[in-house]
Each structure stands twice: as C-alpha cells, then as structure tokens.
Amino acid sequence: MKTYNTVKIEKEGGITWVILNRPEKRNCMSPELHFEMVDVLIELESDPETRVLILTGEGESWCAGQDLKAFFRELDGKPAERRRAEWATHEWRWRHLLTFPVPTIAMVNGYCFGGGFTQLVACDIAIAAEEATFGLSEINFGIFPGGIVSRVIADAMSYRDALYYSLTGDTFDGKQAAEMRLVNYAVPLDKLRDETVKLANKLIDKNPAALRATKEVFKTCRNMDYTHAEEYIGAKLVALRATDPEKGRDEGIKQFIDDKTYRPGLESYQRKE
C-alpha cells in the first residue's frame, strides 16, 4: 500500500482502517486530502484484504469539515483549481465511499463538523463516542451546509433536527446523535475501538457477495418507484445467485432444511472459508 501525507491506512484481520491524518488541523479536509482519498479508495476497492472499511480520524477529532483556509479561501479566484478540488471531494465521498464494495463503518472519535457529515452519511453504519461533538456549523461562519450536506442531512436526520441544527449551529454529542439516529449507537470513547472491531468482525463472518448486494440494492432502490424497484431487485437476486462464489443461498437453505444445523432467523449458515 502507498503512503500518503494526509491519510493513514492500517490493515488487520480483514479490517482496513482509513484514518484522516491531519490531527493538528482537527482532520479538516484540504484539497490534498481529497485527492489522496480518491486514490486511497480506488486502491482499496479492489483490495482482497479489505473486508470491512472503518473511517476514522487521528487524534481528538473525526473530521472538522472542509479546510476553511485551503479548501475555501485559498481557492477563491482560482476556478480551475476549485473545480478540481470540488470534483475530488465529491468523488471520494459520494461516488466511491457511498458505493464502496464492502461494508463501511464511520467510527466517530471526536469532532464532526459541516462537510464531515457527507462521509458520515455515505458510510453504511456509524458508531460514535458518547463524547464526540457534532455540528452543522456553517451558519456560524455565514453560509449554509454546502457541497451536498443539505441533501444528505435530509436523508439521515429528521426534518426538525436538520433544520434546528443547521439554523442554530448548536452542537450535539454522540449520545444525542444516537438518539436522533444520525449514528447507529454511541459508546464511551474508551470502548469505541473495541466495539467497532466487534461489529466489523460480525460483518466479516457474513457472505461477502451477499453483503455487497445488500448495500447496493438498498442504496440504489431508495429513489426508485415500486415498479422499477421490484424489477431491479429481482434482477439483482438472479445476478447474486449466478455470481456468488460460495453459492450462499443454496448452501444456507440446505443447512436449514436438509441438515437442520442452524436456524437462519437466529444465526448465519456455516461458511467454508
């Protein structure tokens, strides 16, 4: 794996940790970070060792949003550079991360502000430290949630919470983020890593082809009408059966109906790995 200036990659037991690595700047996102993240995700998308991706931040912050100096002010009057940086910010977070082929977990260890909400929502699952601090702070520096933040919060926050927090700029903590379902759950900071690894290992035990199809189907058909969704889901089921190397569907049904070795309502079939 290559090395990067603004991102650290660590791999262990099927988990790939992607760690935003500008702790002295609270992991705010500069153009360089965006370009590096495009490269990181393209590399990892075809990496057989990556069974689950965990996105987190070095130090006390998860991501303090866009870099107001390097991404905002320094690109003023430089339309071509701005365009390139905007392409990269959208490309890694909304094109690659949203559709990443293996499950993705946002492990929110600290500050999560503004632009950071985009990759928070792009990840499949999010776990926060109870002590983490979230904020749609744009109103505090005279703008509104830009990029696609105003759009993604409409998916991931309630109507009332999205408007309340983007109008007031008030912060909320990890516990509140869990209560409002912006993250799946929150745990004390000193347990955050262990709990996230536990969840990642649960996912690693599942059939990878079925996992991939599960997230693709869910994310793709959210914006379809029912007729298209039914047709698309039917086609994906056929595609999964045809391409799953471990033939999970046939094996899973056989172990339940014929062998009577497990109950799918309560656990996974026994995979041969």
* Interface size with ligand COA, residues (CB under 6 A): 14
Q: Are 202 and 105 in contact (CB under 8 A)?
A: no
What separation in angstroms does the CA of 189 have from each of 61, 126, 154, 193, 195? 12, 14, 28, 8, 10
Assess 67 for contact with ligand COA (CB under 6 A): yes
Assess 68 for contact with ligand COA (CB under 6 A): yes
Closer residue to ligand COA in complex, CB, 28/52: 28
Q: Which stretch binds ligand COA (CB under 6 A): 65-73, 81-89, 155-163, 194-202?
A: 65-73
- Least Å distance, CB 155 to ligand COA, is 18
Assess 113 for contact with ligand COA (CB under 6 A): yes
Assess 69 for contact with ligand COA (CB under 6 A): yes
Assess 244 for contact with ligand COA (CB under 6 A): no
Q: Which stretch binds ligand COA (CB under 6 A): 1-9, 25-33, 81-89, 160-168?
A: 25-33
- Least Å distance, CB 67 to ligand COA, is 4
- Least Å distance, CB 88 to ligand COA, is 15
Rg (CA), the chain: 20
Q: Which stretch binds ligand COA (CB under 6 A): 21-29, 33-41, 88-96, 155-163?
A: 21-29
Query: Taking CB under 6 A as the criterion, which residues in 137-196 touch ligand COA?
Result: 137
Buried b (16+ CB within 10 A) or exposed e, 89-100: bbbbbbebbbeb
Assess 111 for contact with ligand COA (CB under 6 A): yes
CA distance linking residue 30 with residue 50, whole number of Å: 26
Assess 25 for contact with ligand COA (CB under 6 A): yes
Task: Kindly give, in sequence order, each residue whose CB lies less than 8 Å from that of residue 252, ignoring residues fewer than 6 positions away.
Answer: 264, 268, 269
CA distance linking residue 140 with residue 131, whole number of Å: 22
Residue 3: both structure tokens together: 């090395």
- Least Å distance, CB 74 to ligand COA, is 10
CA distance linking residue 50 with residue 211, whole number of Å: 13
The contact set with ligand COA (CB under 6 A) reads 25-26, 28, 64-69, 111, 113-115, 137
